[in-house]
Amino acid sequence: MSTRTLPYSWYVDPHIYDREQARVFARYWQYVGHTGQLPIEGGVNALAPTRAGNVPVLLVRTDSGELRGFLNVCRHRGSELISAEMCRSTIQCPYHAWTYGLDGRLLSAPRSDTEEKFDHDSLGLIPVAVDCWGPFIFANLDAGGTPLQEALGILPEWVASAGVNVDELLFHSRAESSYSANWKICSENYLECYHCQVAHPGVVDVIDTSEESYRLESRGLCSAQFGPVREGWKGSFDPTGPVGYGQFHFMYPNLTLNISPGFPNISIGPVLPDAPDRSSRYLDYFFGPEVDSGWIEDMLAWDDQIGIEDRALVEGVQRGVQAGALDDGVLLAAEQLIVHFDELLRDDLA
**Among 119, 140, 161, residue at a domain's last position:** 140
Claim to verify: residue 130 and residue 156 sit in the same structural domain: no
* 5 assigned to some structural domain: no
| Sheet with 67-71, edge to edge strand ranges | 67-71, 55-61, 46-52, 86-87
Q: 340: alpha, beta or left, given left = phi > 0 and alpha = psi -120 to 50?
A: alpha
Claim to verify: residue 197 and residue 225 sit in the same structural domain: yes
Element (DSSP H or E) covering residue 303: helix 293-321
Domain of 99: which CATH number?
Answer: 2.102.10.10
* 128 assigned to some structural domain: yes
AA identity, residue 297: E
Convert the pLDDT of each residue in 279-334 to its tens digit. Answer: 999 999 999 999 999 999 999 999 999 999 999 999 999 999 999 999 999 999 99
Claim to verify: residue 339 and residue 205 sit in the same structural domain: yes
Claim to verify: residue 189 and residue 288 sit in the same structural domain: yes
What's the average model confidence in pLDDT over 13-28? 98
Give the integer Cα–Cα distance in Å for 58 and 265: 27
Dihedral sign, CA of 183, 224, 212, 164? Answer: positive
User: Which neighbouring-strand residues pair with 80?
Assistant: 73
Give the integer Cα–Cα distance in Å for 4 and 14: 22
* 323 assigned to some structural domain: yes
**Residue 296 carries which DSSP code?**
H
**Among 140, 168, 195, residue at a domain's last position:** 140
SS3 content of the chain, % helix, strand, coil (to 5): 30, 30, 40
Domains identified in the chain, total number: 2
* 8 assigned to some structural domain: no
Claim to verify: residue 210 and residue 332 sit in the same structural domain: yes
**Among 93, 108, 140, residue at a domain's last position:** 140
Claim to verify: residue 197 and residue 334 sit in the same structural domain: yes
Residue 292's CB: how many other CB atoms inside 10 A? 12
pLDDT tier at 42 (50, 70, 90 boundaries)?
low
Convert the pLDDT of each residue in 160-178 to its tens digit. Answer: 999 999 999 999 999 999 9
How far from the centroid of its chain's Cα atoms is residue 146's Cα? 18
Claim to verify: residue 80 and residue 194 sit in the same structural domain: no
Upper half-sphere CA count for residue 193 (Cβ side, 13 Å): 25
* 7 assigned to some structural domain: no
**pTM for this prediction:** 0.96
Give the integer Cα–Cα distance in Å for 255 and 263: 22
* 25 assigned to some structural domain: no
User: What count of residues does the chain have?
Assistant: 350
Q: Could you list the residue range(s) of the whole structural domain that residue 55 is in?
A: 30-140
**Residue 112 carries which DSSP code?**
G
Convert the pLDDT of each residue in 258-281 to its tens digit. Answer: 999 999 999 999 999 999 999 999
Claim to verify: residue 136 and residue 154 sit in the same structural domain: no
Q: With 70 as the cut, is the pLDDT of residue 341 above it?
A: yes
**Is the peptide bond preceding residue 253 cis, with omega within 30 degrees of 0?**
yes
pLDDT of residue 44: 72
Contact partners, residue 88, CB within 8 Å, separation at least 6: 45, 47
Claim to verify: residue 184 and residue 300 sit in the same structural domain: yes
